[in-house]
């Protein structure tokens, strides 16, 4: 398109960090363009496209205008993925590189994190819209528009729309999901971007999210840790240090927690009193506020964005059973709900309305509360004050989740589906896991299983444990669980550990890659680009013509022995130093090799004159069982940053 959009840059100082915000609501822009940054979730796909151009391309230009020249760019979700195209364009225009050489430089220095485990949550644009906004841009990159468009889809179906997530994956050599399970889901979700590559080898790793512990920890708990453990902020990531919670006296730990619980309940009553006064309710109704919740009762919290997959109404699937729980004469339970829905998520809003209605029903009022106007302040009050933190997303749709991480440093215990972070956090003695790890049942079946499990855990394990007070005062077994929750969750699920992992696993390799490809007039990038072009041209010649097993008894090999493998590989014009020949082996399960390992086979004989070579190696038989193997050839080059960057594999 032939028009300029201007943006004012706002600088926001958050501690030692500068945050830059782009604002198009300025006189230099048309009325239409002034709205681009007005509303995050407003507008149609066209508005979304404009916002993502301003964020991605405008973001790169803004940093340049500020004199900031980063080596590494980190994209969170695909919304900013156009920054990769702008960085390539700058290399083409300023350094006179061709598109594919510039791509090597830029992709080496891009990091991409995806937080969305469903395809529908990823932005995509039609071919027509991309042509409208990027037709001219493709000319600046010196490539045909169709070639540019292909960077936004799997290349298996040319009719697919242009996916921002696929663009980000293609323009990054470093990509991650935000928990171990989410990494597995993401590799499976985007496997077609690496067509032909085995799912577990798709180059998407995982770094589990964390929370800023000091932000969410109540000052009372911070003081308690300071007194009994020492300078906890300096040792927040050290599991051994947190074993010190064992030394905190039962009465002190319980009283600190109860103090925060009383504060939470006072806060909720205060808000409800103001709400009833605002609505002009009767003096009797306002007096009844003091009956809402009770600090001596087991208190369960559920607060988050109300997306349908988080199943905010799962607890209400058996109302009679719930009423028996909350109205038990000697061991009652109370629940506090809070949250907001995405402005466009009508189903999510409907869930909030349902929860609110349930909280007003006879038999549930005063024991089930919904807090309005959810924000970080309410969230902090909740995670610091409840006994039990409830989370039951539809597995495996929770990429990570962090609310339960915030509860643990405050002595809160998690009751959650084994999804997102809790699949790693749960150790069998620091909380409870709802339901089985179902991967392929229907939604209805999973709802049924998880609701049943939730009620059984509450009735048979959680409630009895909370109210078991051998000395008549303190729930000693519950206190042990609190300690284990603090000890196991706090040192692992925090931002210090998370940032350290991003730095070591992604940022430093990306910075090194950028430096390697940028030096000497980007010589290494140009060389790698040319090598890839030649390799793609020559690869069809690569064939594995014969595989032999040298062992006398091929079918039965004793543990401790090795399988001797030799393979005849025809490489044609491909240089042997640019291939890796591997035996791919592992236990056979339903005809598939599970938990595979790749063992490199070494070249043992020179070419026979027509480009064929013999490769040999041995695979140790370390455990008993039924095993299988295959032989494969993959291209290799010292400058490749991913094992399957070319998506080329030849199998026997």
3-class DSSP string for 355-388: HHHHHCCCCCCCCEEEECCCCHHHHHHHHHHCCE
Range of the domain at 42: 8-206
Contact 174, 110 (CB under 8 A): yes
Q: Which of 173, 206, 239 is the last residue of a domain?
A: 206
pLDDT in tens, 111-170: 999 998 777 678 899 999 999 999 999 999 999 999 999 999 988 888 899 999 999 999
Among 107-111, 179-183, 582-586, name the one with the lowest average pLDDT: 582-586
* Residue 292 belongs to a domain: yes
Average pLDDT value for residue range 540-560: 79
Contact 635, 618 (CB under 8 A): no
* Residue 344 belongs to a domain: yes
Nearest to 465 by CA among 448, 484, 452: 484
Contact 641, 109 (CB under 8 A): no
- Together in a domain, 392 and 256: yes
* Residue 524 belongs to a domain: no
* Residue 368 belongs to a domain: yes
Q: Which of 206, 240, 275 is the last residue of a domain?
A: 206
* Confidence label for 608 from pLDDT (cuts 50, 70 and 90): confident
Provide the CB-side half-sphere exposure for 110 (13 A, CA): 30
CATH of the domain at 641: 2.60.40
pLDDT: which is higher, 322 or 65: 65
- Together in a domain, 240 and 172: no
Percent of the chain scoring above 70 in pLDDT: 98
Average pLDDT value for residue range 273-282: 91
Contact 604, 616 (CB under 8 A): yes
Name the E strands within 282-434. Answer: 298-305, 333-340, 368-371, 388-391, 413-417, 431-434
Nearest to 391 by CA among 294, 382, 440: 382
- Together in a domain, 357 and 267: yes
pLDDT in tens, 190-238: 999 999 899 999 999 999 999 999 999 999 999 999 999 999 999 999 9
Name, in order, each residue with C-beta under 8 angstroms of 508's C-beta and a sequence gap of 6 or more. none
pLDDT: which is higher, 312 or 125: 125
* Residue 178 belongs to a domain: yes
DSSP at 200: G
pLDDT in tens, 358-372: 888 888 888 999 898
Average pLDDT value for residue range 436-445: 80
- Together in a domain, 362 and 247: yes
Total domains present in the chain: 3
- Together in a domain, 178 and 231: no
Q: Which of 458, 492, 526 is the last residue of a domain?
A: 492
CATH of the domain at 161: 3.40.50.2000
- Together in a domain, 466 and 562: no
Average pLDDT value for residue range 99-121: 91
Count of Cβ atoms closer than 10 Å to residue 298 Cβ? 23
Residue 327, helix vs strand vs coil: coil
pLDDT of residue 560: 65
- Together in a domain, 79 and 150: yes
User: At CA 557, angle to CA 555 and CA 559, rounded to 5?
Assistant: 150
DSSP letter for each residue of 214-273: HHHS-HHHHHHHHHHT--GGGGTT-HHHHGGGGGS-HHHHHHHHHHHHHHHHHHHHHHHH
CA 97 from centroid of its chain's CA atoms: 35
- Together in a domain, 549 and 574: yes
Average pLDDT value for residue range 550-579: 82
- Together in a domain, 276 and 403: yes
pLDDT of residue 1: 65
Distance CA 550, CA 529 (A): 40
* Residue 561 belongs to a domain: yes
- Together in a domain, 198 and 228: no
- Together in a domain, 199 and 233: no
* Residue 45 belongs to a domain: yes
- Together in a domain, 24 and 171: yes
Distance CA 618, CA 601 (A): 8
pLDDT of residue 553: 65
Contact 591, 572 (CB under 8 A): no
pLDDT averaged over every residue in the chain: 92
* Residue 506 belongs to a domain: no
DSSP at 493: S
């Amino acid at each position: 398109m032939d028009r300029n959009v201007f943006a004012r840059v706002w600088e926001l100082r958050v501690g030692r960090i500068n945050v830059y915000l782009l604002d198009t609501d300025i006189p230099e822009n048309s009325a239409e363009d002034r709205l681009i940054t007005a509303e995050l979730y407003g507008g149609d796909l066209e508005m979304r496209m404009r916002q993502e151009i301003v964020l991605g391309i405008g973001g790169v230009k803004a940093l340049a205008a500020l004199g900031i020249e980063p080596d590494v760019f980190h994209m969170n979700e695909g919304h900013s993925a156009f920054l990769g195209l702008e960085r390539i364009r700058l290399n083409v225009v300023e350094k006179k590189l061709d598109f594919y050489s510039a791509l090597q430089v830029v992709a080496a220095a891009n990091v991409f994190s995806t937080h969305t485990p469903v395809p529908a949550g990823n932005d995509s644009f039609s071919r027509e819209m991309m042509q409208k906004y990027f037709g001219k841009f493709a000319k600046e990159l010196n490539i045909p528009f169709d070639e540019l468009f292909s960077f936004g889809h799997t290349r298996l179906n040319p009719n697919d729309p242009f996916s921002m997530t696929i663009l980000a994956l293609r323009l990054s050599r470093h990509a991650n999901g935000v928990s171990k399970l989410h990494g597995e889901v993401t590799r499976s979700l985007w496997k077609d971007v690496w067509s032909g590559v085995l799912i577990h080898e798709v180059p998407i790793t995982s770094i589990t999210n964390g929370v800023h512990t000091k932000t969410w920890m109540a000052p009372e708990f911070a003081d308690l840790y300071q007194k009994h453990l020492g300078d906890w902020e300096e040792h927040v990531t050290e599991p051994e240090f947190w074993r010190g919670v064992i030394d905190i006296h039962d009465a002190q730990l319980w009283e600190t927690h109860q103090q925060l619980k009383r504060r939470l309940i006072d806060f909720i009553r205060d808000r409800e009193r103001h709400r009833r006064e605002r609505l002009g309710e009767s003096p009797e109704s306002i007096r009844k506020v003091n009956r809402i919740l009770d600090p001596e009762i087991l208190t369960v919290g559920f607060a988050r964005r109300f997306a349908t997959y988080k199943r905010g109404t799962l607890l209400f699937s058996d109302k009679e059973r719930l009423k028996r729980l909350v109205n038990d004469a000697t061991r009652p339970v109370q629940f506090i709900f809070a949250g907001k829905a995405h402005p466009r998520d009508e189903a999510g809003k409907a869930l909030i309305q349902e929860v609110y209605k349930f909280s007003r029903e006879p038999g549930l009022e005063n024991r089930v509360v919904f807090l309005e106007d959810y924000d970080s302040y309410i969230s902090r009050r909740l995670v610091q004050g409840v006994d039990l933190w409830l989370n039951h997303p539809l597995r495996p749709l929770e990429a990570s989740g962090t609310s339960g991480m915030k509860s643990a440093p405050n002595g809160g215990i998690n009751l959650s589906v084994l999804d997102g972070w809790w699949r790693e956090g749960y150790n069998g003695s620091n909380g409870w896991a709802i339901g089985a790890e179902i991967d392929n049942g229907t939604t209805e079946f999973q709802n049924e299983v998880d609701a049943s499990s939730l009620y059984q855990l509450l009735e048979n394990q959680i409630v009895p444990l909370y109210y078991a007070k051998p000395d008549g005062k303190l729930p000693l077994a519950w206190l042990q669980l609190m300690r284990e929750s603090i000890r196991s969750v706090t040192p692992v699920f925090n931002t210090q550990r998370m940032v350290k992992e991003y730095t070591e696993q992604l940022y430093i390799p990306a910075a090194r890659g950028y430096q390697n490809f940028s030096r000497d007039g980007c010589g290494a990038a140009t060389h790698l680009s040319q090598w890839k072009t030649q390799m793609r041209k020559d690869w069809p010649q690569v064939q594995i013509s014969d595989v032999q097993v040298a062992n006398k008894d091929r079918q039965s090999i004793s543990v401790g022995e090795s399988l001797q493998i030799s393979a005849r590989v025809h490489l044609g014009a491909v240089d042997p130093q640019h291939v890796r020949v591997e035996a791919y082996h592992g236990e056979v399960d339903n005809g598939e090799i599970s938990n595979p390992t790749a063992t490199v086979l070494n070249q043992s004989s020179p070419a026979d004159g027509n480009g064929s070579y013999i490769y040999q190696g041995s695979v140790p038989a370390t455990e008993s069982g039924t095993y299988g193997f295959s032989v494969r050839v993959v291209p290799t080059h010292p400058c490749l940053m991913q094992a399957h960057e070319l998506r080329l594999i030849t199998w026997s």
